[in-house]
Amino acid sequence: MTEKSSFEKFREWVANSSTLKLLGIGFILLILLIPIEMVRDIIQERQYYQFDVQQEITSSWGHEQVIEGPVLTVPYDVTTFVRTTENKTEEIKTRYFAHFLPETLDYSGALNIDTLHRGIYSVNVYTADMKISGSFVEQSVEDWQNDHVDILWDKCQISVGIPDQRGVQEELFLNWNDEKVAFSSGIKYQGLIKEGVSALIDLSDSTSRSCAFNMDLELRGSNRFGLSPLGKVSTAAISSSWKDPKYFGEFPPDYRNDPNESGFEANWKILHLNRSIPQSFTDVNFNSSQYVYGVEIFEEVGEYRKTERSAKYAVLFIALTFVTFFFIQVIRKVQLHALQFIIVGLALCLFYVLLLSLSEYIGFNSAYVIAATAVVVQITWYVKHIFNNTKLSIIVMAILGLLYFFIFTLVQLANYSLLMGSIGLFIVMGVLMYMSRNLDWSKKKSEPPVVS
């Protein structure tokens, strides 16, 4: 019998070494990180483009809206006397502004949801049909106790905060003690409210200083709808046909139903004790934005976000597929070329491109089923011709199908994805341990111990 040369022994070791095969698979997996990152870059690029289109749509419709107020502002002049160098007394008048918040403030209304489209992209917008009502009590601040104060009751201002006035749909009027007052754009006496609408009212008649008010407001916006609790007692009731609301702010609803086919309802009640803004003030050193609460027209997981989340599992998916092929090699004593691993890996990467392109037109779920089916059939056909074994190809098809189903489940479960993922990986590791428990990695049978 001819003894094998060193080169033949080395070549045989290379062909049969499980360690070398695993290292080769790991190297191929590292190479495939390049197309995986390219796919993720494409997903992000499409996301950015979608965001730009949505911004264009909302800029013409209306951005996020937050209603503040109304707030009553009363100007007053304080006269001070200054002695000049010529020993004369000169009067100097300085104008100040006193701001008063409502005693009661109630917001009630509905958000009517609509979807605007541009090309393949869409964005959810709303029209808020709101009724605002409440009351003010008699106004007074400490400065007014001064004898040299002139209160300008005929030049008072009512202001309502609206950040994006393009969303205002109708002329705005305030019913102040049954008197109709028209609003104008902008805030003349800026205080707590910086942007919005205002109206000048005459409170020279003392009976009009403690009063009830109400107004109707139809306002278009997008993304979020917020309210500011500026009343001593602020209440709000919002309803909508939207099925997936997300509440934001430091004040969760006191009541909210479980969203259903008819939409959602939510109620709030907030006291002045829940905020650090007093009911009346002259120095504006307060920030009301930190107390804004409301609802976000929130789509829990968008198409691109789902695709991006599924792409995060690409390395794991390809690694498990390669491990499956490795065990087939070891158990069935068949050989696979490195190029065949690369071809299968690229086919698995192509799945995400198919998923991305199809989901833009038919939605994520349908796109996922079509793309996964196409890739599984393609790889199964390829494996059938590599191994020339129908049973092995069916096993590979079943494993790929289970992996795709597992990833699909993780993507759908926003709140439980980590839990389900960890349980799934634990099961996979158990299966791998079971399959590899009896493998002879050294290719040498264990010899019985020598008894001396």
Using pLDDT thresholds of 50, 70 and 90, give the confidence band for residue 48.
confident
With a cut of 80, say whether residue 242 has pLDDT above it.
Answer: yes
- Which CATH architecture is the domain 63-299 placed in? Sandwich (2.60)
Side-chain-facing half-sphere of 331: CA atoms under 13 Å: 12
| Residue with token string 């009512």 | 158
Can you tell me the distance from the alpha carbon of 95 to that of 18, in angstroms, rounded to the nearest whole number?
A: 88
Evaluate whether 133 touches 261 at the Cβ level (below 8 Å).
no
Residues 250-258, mean pLDDT to the nearest whole number = 85
**302: part of which helix (H) or strand (E)?**
none
For residue range 202-236, list pLDDT tens digits in order: 888 766 667 888 899 898 888 889 999 998 999 99
Q: Which of 16-25, 238-247, 248-257, 355-364 has the lowest mean pLDDT?
A: 16-25
Evaluate whether 356 touches 370 at the Cβ level (below 8 Å).
no
Residue 227 has a pLDDT of 92
Using pLDDT thresholds of 50, 70 and 90, give the confidence band for residue 3.
low
| Residue with token string 């910086």 | 194
Residue 150 has a pLDDT of 81
Residue 84 has a pLDDT of 66
Using pLDDT thresholds of 50, 70 and 90, give the confidence band for residue 331.
low
Residue of 380 and 428 predicted with greater confidence: 380
Residue 450 has a pLDDT of 45
- Domain ranges in the chain? 17-50+304-435, 63-299
Burial tier of 17 (Cβ tally within 10 Å: 0-12, 13-18, 19+) = middle
CB atoms within 10 A of CB 204: 13
With a cut of 90, say whether residue 14 has pLDDT above it.
Answer: no
With a cut of 70, say whether residue 183 has pLDDT above it.
Answer: yes
For residue range 295-307, list pLDDT tens digits in order: 988 665 567 777 8
Residues 346-363, mean pLDDT to the nearest whole number = 83
Closest by CA position to 71, among listed 201, 165, 168: 201
Burial tier of 304 (Cβ tally within 10 Å: 0-12, 13-18, 19+) = buried
Residues 118-133, mean pLDDT to the nearest whole number = 85
What phi-psi label fits residue 311: left (phi over 0), alpha (psi between -120 and 50 degrees) or beta? alpha
